[in-house]
Every structure is written in C-alpha cells, then in structure tokens.
C-alpha cells in the first residue's frame, strides 16, 4: 500500500500567469492615471472662476496651451513664441483633424495674447477651442 500522491495528481500551486497579468494591468492603470493627474499641473497658473465651468472629456489630439500672467505661452513645459505655436498647431491639425485646444490662461493674463492664440487656432483650422476655469466651489476648497 502506497501513501502519498497518486499518479496524475499534483498539488495546486500559485498560478503565476494570471498574477503577472494582474500586476501589469495595475501598473498600466497607475501609470496612465499619473500622467493625467500631473498634466500641466506643475505650472503656477491661477485659473479664473466661472459658475458654469464644467469638466470636459479628454479627446485624442487635445493640446493644452498655458498662458502665464506675464504673457508667456507654454506648451508641454516649453515656452513658445507665436510663430512656434503656429507650427505646433499646424502639426496637431494635420495629425488629428478635428482636434481640440484648451487654453489655460492665468486670471491676470493679457486678453490680447489669448486673442492671438485664438487667431493661430483659426489659421490652423482648429475650431474646437475651450478656456479652462475653476468652479467657484472648487476654488473655495483650494
């Protein structure tokens, strides 16, 4: 009489393939959420408030243009001139037809610079342009 394992029976161990899949999915999830939460948040821009401000959906080809209080134009942590910004917008329009632009202007920014950016968007055939603002409740929380 033999005691122990019978032929064909193996003890159940930890299945590594599903475990590795889950770890990679969690890693991808945290990497993508970290990118969206740090998106342009390192800039010191005080957004204006609006009672009708809404959170928009992200879209492919979306570009954030930051307009500082002193008139500097910043895209992807690079300070650009109006000519350089026109080149970027032309490229975005070419690669992502129907793309959108979100202007994050400081509450003390010059209106003339914002109008110049709108004109550049029109020249690049980008008509989906929005301005970023905080809701009044959100500003009180800050």
pLDDT at 35: 63
pLDDT at 82: 92
* pLDDT surpasses 60 at 37: no
Indicate the SS3 state at residue 139. Answer: helix
Instruction: Say how far apart CA 78 and CA 90 lie, in whole Å.
Output: 17
Give per-residue pLDDT as tens, 84-130: 999 999 998 898 888 889 898 888 888 898 999 999 999 999 988 98
Alpha helices in the chain (DSSP H): 16-37, 82-95, 111-123, 136-141
pTM of the full structure: 0.63
pLDDT at 76: 84
Q: Domains of the chain, with CATH numbers?
A: 63-141 (3.30.420.270)
Taking the CB of residue 68, how many other CB atoms lie within 10 A of it?
19
- Band the pLDDT of 83: cuts 50, 70, 90: very high
Which residue did the predictor score with more confidence, 52 or 20?
A: 20
Give per-residue pLDDT as tens, 11-35: 677 788 888 999 999 998 888 776 6
Which residue did the predictor score with more confidence, 82 or 42?
A: 82
pLDDT at 115: 92
């Amino acid at each position: 009489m033999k005691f122990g394992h019978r032929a064909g029976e193996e003890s159940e161990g930890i299945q590594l393939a599903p475990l590795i899949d889950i770890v990679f999915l969690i890693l991808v999830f945290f990497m993508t959420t970290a990118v969206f939460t740090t998106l342009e948040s390192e800039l010191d821009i005080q957004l204006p408030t609006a009672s009708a401000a809404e959170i928009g959906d992200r879209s492919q080809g979306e570009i954030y243009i930051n307009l500082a209080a002193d008139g500097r134009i910043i895209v992807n942590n690079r300070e650009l001139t109006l000519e350089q910004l026109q080149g970027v917008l032309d490229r975005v329009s070419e690669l992502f037809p129907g793309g959108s632009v979100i202007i994050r202007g400081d509450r003390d920014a010059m209106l003339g610079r914002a109008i110049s950016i709108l004109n550049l968007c029109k020249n690049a055939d980008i008509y989906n342009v929005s301005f970023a603002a905080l809701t009044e409740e959100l500003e009180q929380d800050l």
